[in-house]
Structure 1
Amino acid sequence: MNLKQLYYFKTLAKTEHMTQAAELLSITQPSLSHSMTELEKELGAFLFEKTGRNIRLTKYGEFFLSYVERSLNELEQGEKALKELVSPDEGQIDLAFIYTLGPYFAPLLLQEFKQVEAHKKISFSFYQGNTKNILHNLKTEKTDIALCSMITPDNQIHFEPIAEEEIVLIVPLNHPLATLDSIDLADTAAYPFISFNKKSGIRPTIDAMLAEVNVVPKIVCEVEEDHTMAGFVAFGHGIGILPRISALDYYDVKIIHITNPSYQRYIYVATLKNHYLSPATRIFRDFIVDYGQQNFLATGKRI
């Protein structure tokens, strides 16, 4: 039994006329007759019976037709949905990004992308998390594109740099360091820290920065994302190092520029190597690379 036989059977069942059905299917009448005979042999039941010059379904044919129609309808709907999904004009993209990109950078990319008329019907689903979780979801194909940092190179993933993220120190407004606008991290050794947990993609960068100035941080608690760190710092539980997200302006913290050590914290667009990307996904990936490199990396602007 094959899909073509099922379409033949459905058409013949509706027309109840061998010649008409063959014309509709653009095949010869003997070919159609042979195909139906083979289908009946495989099923072990007569599907049609002659009534004068026409034919009609047997009760077994009526029974089988209901299943064939449902199956073919499902296939046709699946075909239509798949074509829409991979359409360059109406496809869907599963996009993941790290927490720091949620308030500004990710919405900015979508806003700019949607300015193009041909992109307006492309839809998105979003996932936020830390870099480790995001890259795991990328590898398991739960997401199509990831905007993240890079913990270590990965031979399964292609990373393309698109922007640089500034990392700053934040302290409570009444903290002794709050009078400073810039700082050498060596001067933070005496104070307790709020830190990101060890699953965070930025934790290795911060640890390396502190180690470079010989600071062993006194960590009083670990958090998963930036807003939680800002909240704990604002309430005086410690100081913190984190990316300069726009939402920091709404917390009662002093934002201090770090002059030493120097660092580079890049944001990448990540996709699987040697892996199929739908047309819409490829268009969006290429847009992100061009937009990020032209508007951020080329200009030295940080996010």
Structure 2
Amino acid sequence: MNLDHLRYFACLAQVKHYTRAAQQLCISQPSLSHAIRQLEGELGVPLFEKTGRNTTLTPFGETFLTTVHQTLGTLEEGVETLRRSARGEGLIRLGFLRRLGSRYIPQLAAEFLAAHPARNLSFTFHTDRTQGLVESLLHRQCDLVFCSQPDPALPLTAVPVVRQELVLITPKDHPLAGRGAVDLAQALPYPMVYFTREAGLRRVVDGLFADAGGAPRIAYETEEDQVIAGLVAQGFGIAVVPQMELLHKLEVAVLKITAPDYRWEVFLTTCDGLFLAPAARDFRDFALRRSQEGR
């Protein structure tokens, strides 16, 4: 069914006069008449009837007009959405590690909005561990994610944007609790609350202990660093976790790791096969610039 014919039909239904409708549509009256006849032929019912000098809708036309208005309205809405997107407006779907949600992501998003006050922009915020974030990216549920370094074999582009400190936490009454800093080798004799193998930090912490000369005594495993901190506070073991505000609200001692040397970063990650809308692309570039400025 010809979309122009639907527009012609809607215009004639409103104007109720072939000549005036053709003038509004900037086409000839015979062209309009031919289009309406074609439309009626496709539908198999008459859409208009003559009433004096005017043309009015038949009952079939009245019914069809409702559908045409809905169709044209949906089309116009879709076209306007695409135009807004082309102007750099629209929705940005962010995914990030939960620990980034208290300060880094809200601040970055607020700064981006403040830098573009005239643009109609909005965000959705999704938190998960690294594996879940990567899956949401590959399944096109997020435009970009902030996570631990993903598997290099995946079709992703990952750029480091935030360097975070790792610390050793212990219960307040633990033998190591009184130290302000610790060589990680000193933690080897004690039971650990540890990241599961699916967690992005697992490889980093495994590497730290390997460099420290031993394997950790894993007593419990879980995915979330906040859960790990809660378990340590209740005496389930000690743990290596990112430095985060929550630690200072729990009954744990926070120890700086002086050795071995380590580097743990958060990566801004995008899918190589995913088209980035202008708004998401601009936010990505904004985050990368902020990262460079902060170094």
**Which of the five TM-score ranges fits, normalised by the shorter chain?**
over 0.9
Query: Corresponding residue for 1:301?
Result: none
Gaps (5+ residues) in structure 1? 299-303
What does 1:72-151 align with in structure 2 at a 5 Å threshold?
72-84=72-84, 87-88=87-88, 90-118=89-117, 121-151=120-150
Query: Corresponding residue for 2:239?
Result: 240
Secondary structure of the 2:247 match is helix
What does 1:38-77 align with in structure 2 at a 5 Å threshold?
38-77=38-77
Per-residue deviation, 1:34: 1.4
Whether the 8 Å CA contact 2:168–2:257 is kept in 1: the answer is yes
Whether the 8 Å CA contact 1:163–1:293 is kept in 2: the answer is no
Query: Corresponding residue for 2:266?
Result: 267
Whether the 8 Å CA contact 2:133–2:145 is kept in 1: the answer is yes
Query: Corresponding residue for 2:188?
Result: 189
Query: Corresponding residue for 2:16?
Result: 16
Query: For 1:14 and 1:164, how far apart are their aligned partners in 2?
Result: 63
Whether the 8 Å CA contact 1:86–1:92 is kept in 2: the answer is no
Query: For 2:227 and 2:42, how far apart are their aligned partners in 1?
Result: 65
Per-residue deviation, 1:86: 5.7
Indicate the larger mover: 134-143 or 226-235. 226-235
Query: Corresponding residue for 2:206?
Result: 207
Residue 226, structure 1, aligned to residue 225, structure 2 = yes
Whether the 8 Å CA contact 1:103–1:247 is kept in 2: the answer is no
Query: For 1:287 and 1:268, how far apart are their aligned partners in 2?
Result: 14
Per-residue deviation, 1:155: 4.7
Query: Corresponding residue for 1:292?
Result: 291
Query: Over aligned residues, Cα RMSD in angstroms?
Result: 1.9
Query: For 1:151 and 1:16, how far apart are their aligned partners in 2?
Result: 63
Query: For 1:119 and 1:216, how far apart are their aligned partners in 2?
Result: 55
Whether the 8 Å CA contact 1:94–1:126 is kept in 2: the answer is yes
Whether the 8 Å CA contact 1:160–1:270 is kept in 2: the answer is yes
Whether the 8 Å CA contact 2:140–2:274 is kept in 1: the answer is no
Query: For 1:213 and 1:158, how far apart are their aligned partners in 2?
Result: 31
Indicate the larger mover: 122-131 or 206-215. 206-215
> How many equivalent pairs are there?
295
Secondary structure of the 1:176 match is coil
Per-residue deviation, 1:100: 2.1
Query: Corresponding residue for 1:162?
Result: 161
Query: For 2:172 and 2:246, how far apart are their aligned partners in 1?
Result: 16
Query: For 2:231 and 2:151, how far apart are their aligned partners in 1?
Result: 29
Query: For 2:93 and 2:86, how far apart are their aligned partners in 1?
Result: 12
Per-residue deviation, 1:176: 0.5
1:31-68, Cα deviation, whole Å (9 max, x unpaired): 21111111111112221223343322222222211221
Secondary structure of the 1:95 match is strand
Whether the 8 Å CA contact 2:93–2:142 is kept in 1: the answer is yes
From the superposition, tell whether residues 120 and 62 of structure 1 become closer, same or farther in structure 2 (CA, over 3 Å).
closer
Query: For 2:164 and 2:6, how far apart are their aligned partners in 1?
Result: 58
Secondary structure of the 2:177 match is helix
Query: For 1:244 and 1:63, how far apart are their aligned partners in 2?
Result: 64
Per-residue deviation, 1:259: 2.1
Per-residue deviation, 1:74: 2.7
Whether the 8 Å CA contact 1:161–1:293 is kept in 2: the answer is no
TM-score computed with the length of structure 1 as normaliser:
0.90
Query: For 1:87 and 1:224, how far apart are their aligned partners in 2?
Result: 40
Query: For 2:24 and 2:271, how far apart are their aligned partners in 1?
Result: 45
Per-residue deviation, 1:293: 2.1
Per-residue deviation, 1:133: 0.5
Per-residue deviation, 1:276: 2.1
Secondary structure of the 1:183 match is strand
Secondary structure of the 1:256 match is strand
Whether the 8 Å CA contact 2:165–2:242 is kept in 1: the answer is yes
Per-residue deviation, 1:116: 1.8
Secondary structure of the 1:200 match is coil
Query: For 1:109 and 1:119, how far apart are their aligned partners in 2?
Result: 18
Query: For 2:136 and 2:95, how far apart are their aligned partners in 1?
Result: 9
Letter of the 2:19 partner, please give it: T
Query: Corresponding residue for 2:4?
Result: 4
Letter of the 2:33 partner, please give it: S
Query: Corresponding residue for 1:258?
Result: 257
Per-residue deviation, 1:244: 1.1
Query: For 1:68 and 1:142, how far apart are their aligned partners in 2?
Result: 32
1:80-135, Cα deviation, whole Å (9 max, x unpaired): 445445642x4211111012212222122123323325377421110000111001
Per-residue deviation, 1:146: 0.4
Indicate the larger mover: 225-234 or 152-161. 152-161
